[in-house]
Structure 1
Amino acid sequence: MEQMTEILGQTILDLIDGQNYAVTSFPADKYTQAVADTLEGNFDPTQINRSEVQIAGGVEGGGQTISLELAPYILPLRYKNEYRKLIHPDAQLPVHTYLIFESEKISNSKMKIVQLDDLTQLNDQIEAFFEIEKNWVAPVPKEEEKDTAAETKPKKAAAKKTTRKKATKK
């Protein structure tokens, strides 16, 4: 089974617009090596596709969604509008395997993506993402920062406005 290396722009646009690429999804209660093996087993390096596992309800349910995608850019295939802006229909585009880790606690964007040259280090990379998630500290929302700053700094009194009469030349 030889890996797909490139695709015509119009072909990928048609696949993405109609969501006509294979998607394999399965649930898991927690992450184990068996989950990585199943994720890899469901992934097809010969065609545009997505293999995903939703752990503890997936990112929508407060858990994690981990997926492998064969795609031309380091963007999830579901980002149709971005792909339309990036792809010229007549261009030949190289495709790569991307590992996408989605979680509320991985980054502000709730997503980390890495390009994988091969799948031999899949489990190690997923474990590294879980380590990032475990050590992640949520940023303070900007509105709270403004409120705190307002409380610590007293407001200056408004400057007095004086009106001056301008002399007119005769």
Structure 2
Amino acid sequence: MKLVDKPYQEKQKDEDGVIRDVWIFPLKVKDDQATNLVDDKIIKDNYEQKEKQAKKLSNDELHKKALESQSAKTSIRKTATKTYERNAYVSEYAKRRANGVCQLCDEPAPFNNKKGEPYLETHHIVWLSEGGPDTIENTVALCPNCHRKMHVLDSGEDKSILLNKAAGI
């Protein structure tokens, strides 16, 4: 291990829930090989578990916990993720086919990008991570809200709407 930043102090609860001053020593593994990477799923699962716990708290309890857990620094992890190379031609085609209008809510793009073009996000109806193809029949252009909606809810009804639009129906 090697020290990668200045040690600092912060307040944390001990195992009995008593607030105490602790010293944090930002360390890094000297050997930076991929074997030292943490699977990003572990980080996400841990966060989701804490999120569920936070949702069960009253507003007062939540406020107290948020104040107690504040820190000037956040922990950093190197993670290993899978990345799917997307076809730039398929993505651009989906955006042009949408003509500046979200293909799910049928509303105009909420803003323009730095080039002045309507901002829509390319979305694979059947996700690449689930074996979906990177084709024009499986790709649509969505506003940021609908794009997030599809990744959170993944509604079958919305998928049907999008598949029809991608097929030109």
TM-score category (smaller protein): under 0.3
Name the structure with the higher helix share. 2
Tell which has more relative contact order, 1 or 2 (C-alpha 8 A, sep 6+). Answer: 1
Scaled by the length of structure 1, the TM-score of the pair is 0.20
Q: Which entry has the higher C-alpha Rg, 1 or 2?
A: 1
